[in-house]
Amino acid sequence: MTTHLETDEHRALRSAVAALGNRHGRDFDREQLWSEAAELGYLGVNLPEAYGGGGGGIAELSIVLEELGSAGCPLLMLIVSPAICGTVIARFGTEAQKSEWLPGLANGTLTMAFGITEPDAGSNSHRITTTARKDGADWLLTGRKVFISGVDIADATLIVGRTEDARTGRLKPCLFIVPRDAEGFTRRRIDMELNAAEKQFELTLDDVRLPAGALVGDEDAGLLQLFAGLNPERIMTAAFAIGMGRYALARAVEYARDRTVWNSPIGAHQAIAHPLAQAHIDLELARLMMQKAAHLYDAGDDVGAGEAANMAKYAAGEACVKAVDQAAHTLGGNGLTREFGLASLITAARVSRIAPVSREMILNYVSHQTLGLPKSY
């Protein structure tokens, strides 16, 4: 796929990352790829140069994730570590937090996970109950989280909670950096039917004692600070989905060009060719919206980026699920063999439809925010 909406630097980045991805491929070793991508400066392309980053934005980071995904080796932690955590710390962190975390997040020696989802809140994050109470200069953090990715490989997790005096009502979130081995911070791996290098965990925080400096930015910054991280998360999830969709589509096209069971390759039958062409169009359209969202976000338009990032995530998630489904179908029985590697993508693709915000919640957002329709909940 090519696009002329990107600069020469963007195109050079795409092809360099694609070359790295193609050297690793679908059987990639996550740690090895992470450290090679780090050495080449790809993990922190969006982080400020003053802290060892590349000085670019989410446009660049999304290119990195999309191209790795399209080579079959997406690094899921790019969505959380540099995109959410790195962005929030760079924009709102204290000087001490920036110097402690950003250089490591940029060069890949430090990784940070992100935890907002709770068992009893799910899509309704206004209902989260993880609560921080003051104890002298310290904070004590108590609550539960679920489906949090990569907590075992991350040095810390950025936990979204609320302060005791804002315990109920509309969410006024506050963000805490919780080190992996903090006392009272325990994790249980969730047995997911996903063939991915990164695992998901249920977390329990039982009076986890944190110093004042663990609170990112300002206790009163609220939703503004949280959304500074959630919009990049949506844009990056779109990149993840588009990369995976491209990978699956390419495998199907290769197969359909050669596989012959009548007089011509199966790709000559329009019943096989057209759905693949549609999948390509849908992925291209999703990417266009992703580029718009990244452009708005990097230009500082948080409100415009919010709508575009939601729409990009929706479009990319749907395009990915359809592309993977059609790709597996194109291979007939081979679509379900381990050798061809598409069957496991059928579940993996669906992650982009449910996380970090589900298809239905985006349709709700567009219904209410964009179209001004009334709310049912």
Ligand X SMILES: Cc1cc2nc3c(=O)[nH]c(=O)nc-3n(C[C@H](O)[C@H](O)[C@H](O)COP(=O)(O)OP(=O)(O)OC[C@H]3O[C@@H](n4cnc5c(N)ncnc54)[C@H](O)[C@@H]3O)c2cc1C
Residues that bind ligand X (CB under 6 A): 80, 114-117, 122-123, 147-149, 194, 200, 351, 354-358, 360-361, 364, 377
Q: Shortest Cβ distance from residue 161 to ligand X (Å)? A: 12
83 vs 331, which CB is nearer to ligand X? Answer: 83
165 vs 360, which CB is nearer to ligand X? Answer: 360
Q: How far is residue 186's CA from residue 362's CA, in Å, rounded to a whole number? A: 32
Q: Shortest Cβ distance from residue 168 to ligand X (Å)? A: 19
Q: Contact 265/258 with Cβ under 8 angstroms?
A: yes
Q: Shortest Cβ distance from residue 130 to ligand X (Å)? A: 11
165: its two tokens: 């005096």
40 vs 194, which CB is nearer to ligand X? Answer: 194
139 vs 147, which CB is nearer to ligand X? Answer: 147
Q: Shortest Cβ distance from residue 119 to ligand X (Å)? A: 8
Residue 114's beta-bridge partner residues?
158
With CA atoms as reference, report the closest residue to 293 among 358, 227, 372.
227
How far, in Å, are 236, 238, 294, 298 from residue 241 at the CA level? 9, 5, 15, 20
For 224-247, give the DSSP string. Answer: HHHHHHHHHHHHHHHHHHHHHHHH
209 vs 368, which CB is nearer to ligand X? Answer: 368
70 vs 200, which CB is nearer to ligand X? Answer: 200
Q: Shortest Cβ distance from residue 151 to ligand X (Å)? A: 8
239: its two tokens: 């990149």
Q: What is the H or E stretch that residue 141 is in?
A: strand 138-149
68: its two tokens: 């790795």
Q: What is the H or E stretch that residue 147 is in?
A: strand 138-149
Locate tokens 């062409």: which residue? 277
Q: Shortest Cβ distance from residue 175 to ligand X (Å)? A: 12
